[in-house]
């Protein structure tokens, strides 16, 4: 029996580095990701024997390529689909999610420019979702129930944590530029393609972050030492891509004793001075074990 030649194999570490703030072209507060190049690519590099661990390697590549030091880091997923990146070989991508506070530089890209259907705070995004649902139904009548659950169509709720599932469905249907059967001009509808499988990895990171902030206080990593409750809510809303009920949000934060007031106030809102808060370190330690419930919206 004649054996087939082995496909080429290469492995990379890829980091999804997220912050919240503003960047060029995005005047409103939103989640940002470090990405550069044309096509855009996330910080990445090959496996190396001089890195003590895979996480150490991911941290090193981020520092070398962007100048940022990461706080929170956790492994996301290992992607190894044959031919997914368009090559004949197998590309193994070991991905990590990292959080940091943004610095004023040009390395940041608006996450919702790359995943534009994910920002439910935007009427444009909601209209885009409606258009994509129509396109998906034309693509496959057999996937109608799947489409409804993933996109929150009809009476079903929009679930922020399903960002990866939405991307994968759009990829299958050729409605994103990364797809091998993408229609002409689709990048004008759903955003530009990224290098290799990096937009899929970005969607994975967004899904993980949205899921995790419901039971772990990761938002602490993205806030300055002191902040108003309005600023805290704005960061959470930016991450989940949806508005939150003000009183419900504040009640949840206060009931869990996540923050404590300082003696200072802020006039940044332009109205009455707002009390400044800080996170309780005891709460951070405790919630890391038992969870933190952030009120995530469950409606369209």
Q: What is the CATH number of the domain that holds 270?
A: 1.10.10.10
Boundary of a domain, candidates 184, 211, 238: 211
Whether 145 and 107 map to the same domain: the answer is no
Whether 103 and 124 map to the same domain: the answer is no
Boundary of a domain, candidates 89, 111, 133: 111
Whether 65 and 154 map to the same domain: the answer is no
Residue 30 pairs with which residues in a beta bridge?
A: 21
What pLDDT, on the 0 to 100 scale, is given for residue 269?
Answer: 64
Task: Quote the CA–CA distance of 179 and 62 in Å, as a whole number.
Answer: 27
Whether 120 and 107 map to the same domain: the answer is no
> Can you give the residue range of the structural domain that contains 19?
9-111
Residue 49's nearest CA partner among 60, 38, 35 is 60
The answer to whether residue 175 is domain-embedded is yes
Q: Are strands 26-34 and 108-110 parallel, antiparallel or unpaired?
A: antiparallel
The answer to whether residue 4 is domain-embedded is no
Whether 18 and 106 map to the same domain: the answer is yes
Task: Quote the CA–CA distance of 117 and 101 in Å, as a whole number.
Answer: 25
Q: Are strands 9-23 and 90-99 parallel, antiparallel or unpaired?
A: parallel
Q: Are strands 44-46 and 9-23 parallel, antiparallel or unpaired?
A: antiparallel
Whether 16 and 78 map to the same domain: the answer is yes
Whether 23 and 105 map to the same domain: the answer is yes
**Three-state SS string across the chain, please?**
CCCCCCCCEEEEEEEEEEEEEEECCEEEEEEEEECECCCEECCEEECCCCCCCHHHHHHHHHHHHHCCCCCCEEEEEEECCECCCCCCCEEEEEEEEEECCCCCCCCEEEHHHHCHHHCCCCHHHHHHHHHHHHHHHHHCCCCHHHHHHHHCCCCCCCCHHHHHHHHHHHHHCCCCCCCCCCCCCCHHHHCCCECCCHHHHHHHHHHHHHHHCCCCCHHHHHCCCCECHHHHHHHHHHHHCCCCCHHHHHHHHHHCCCEEEEEEEECCCCCCCEEEEEECHHHHHHHHHHCCCCCCCCCC
pTM: 0.88
What pLDDT, on the 0 to 100 scale, is given for residue 26?
Answer: 45
Whether 158 and 178 map to the same domain: the answer is yes
Whether omega for the bond prior to residue 267 falls within 30 degrees of 0, making it cis, is: no
Task: Quote the CA–CA distance of 123 and 3 in Å, as a whole number.
Answer: 56
Residue 40's nearest CA partner among 28, 29, 32, 48 is 32
Q: What is the pLDDT along the chain (300 residues), one digit of tens a residue?
A: 455 555 577 789 999 999 997 544 444 578 999 999 999 999 999 888 888 888 889 999 999 999 888 888 999 999 887 766 556 667 788 999 999 887 666 789 999 999 999 999 889 999 999 999 999 999 998 889 999 999 999 889 999 999 999 999 999 999 999 998 898 899 999 999 999 899 999 999 999 999 998 888 788 888 888 999 998 999 999 999 999 999 999 988 888 788 899 998 887 766 678 899 998 877 666 555 444 555 555 544
Q: What contacts 201, CB < 8 A, 6 or more positions away?
A: 14, 16, 42, 76, 77, 79, 93, 95
The answer to whether residue 250 is domain-embedded is yes
Q: Whose structure tokens read 């002191």? A: 226
Whether 184 and 233 map to the same domain: the answer is no
- Tokens encoding 103: 């610095």
The answer to whether residue 296 is domain-embedded is no
Counted domains in the chain = 3
The answer to whether residue 236 is domain-embedded is yes
The answer to whether residue 98 is domain-embedded is yes
Whether 38 and 127 map to the same domain: the answer is no
What pLDDT, on the 0 to 100 scale, is given for residue 299?
Answer: 47
What does R_g of the chain's alpha carbons equal in angstroms?
A: 20
What pLDDT, on the 0 to 100 scale, is given for residue 284?
Answer: 64
Provide φ and ψ at 233, rounded to 5°.
Answer: -65, -40
Boundary of a domain, candidates 111, 145, 163: 111
Task: Quote the CA–CA distance of 216 and 79 in Å, as a whole number.
Answer: 25
Whether 255 and 280 map to the same domain: the answer is yes
The answer to whether residue 169 is domain-embedded is yes
Whether 31 and 102 map to the same domain: the answer is yes
**CATH number of the domain enclosing 35:** 3.90.79.10
The answer to whether residue 298 is domain-embedded is no
What pLDDT, on the 0 to 100 scale, is given for residue 22?
Answer: 55
Q: Are strands 44-46 and 259-266 parallel, antiparallel or unpaired?
A: unpaired
């Amino acid at each position: 029996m004649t054996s087939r030649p082995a496909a080429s194999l290469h492995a990379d570490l890829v980091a999804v580095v997220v912050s919240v703030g503003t960047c060029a072209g995005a005047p409103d507060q939103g989640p940002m990701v470090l990405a550069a190049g044309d096509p855009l690519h996330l910080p990445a590099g090959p496996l190396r024997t001089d890195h003590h661990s895979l996480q150490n390697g991911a941290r090193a590549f981020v520092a070398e390529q962007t100048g940022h030091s990461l706080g929170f880091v956790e492994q996301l997923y290992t992607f190894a689909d044959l031919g997914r990146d368009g090559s004949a070989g197998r590309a193994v991508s070991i991905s990590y999610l990292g959080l940091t506070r943004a610095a004023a530089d040009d390395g940041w890209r608006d996450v919702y420019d790359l995943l534009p259907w994910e920002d439910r705070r935007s009427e444009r995004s909601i209209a885009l979702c409606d258009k994509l649902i129509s396109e998906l139904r034309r693509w496959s009548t057999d996937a109608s129930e799947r489409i409804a659950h993933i996109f929150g169509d009809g009476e079903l709720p929009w679930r922020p944590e399903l960002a990866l599932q939405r991307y994968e469905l759009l990829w299958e249907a050729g409605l994103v530029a990364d797809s091998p059967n993408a229609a002409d001009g689709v990048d004008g509808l759903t955003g530009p393609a990224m290098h290799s499988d990096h937009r899929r990895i970005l969607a994975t990171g967004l899904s993980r972050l949205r899921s995790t902030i419901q039971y772990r206080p990761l938002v602490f990593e993205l806030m300055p030492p002191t902040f108003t409750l309005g600023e805290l809510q704005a960061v959470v809303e930016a991450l989940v891509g949806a508005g939150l009920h003000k009183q419900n949000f504040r009640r949840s934060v206060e009931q869990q004793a996540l923050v404590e007031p300082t003696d200072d106030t802020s006039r940044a809102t332009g109205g009455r001075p707002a009390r400044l808060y800080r996170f309780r370190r005891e709460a951070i330690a405790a919630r890391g074990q038992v969870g933190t419930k952030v009120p995530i919206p469950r409606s369209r």
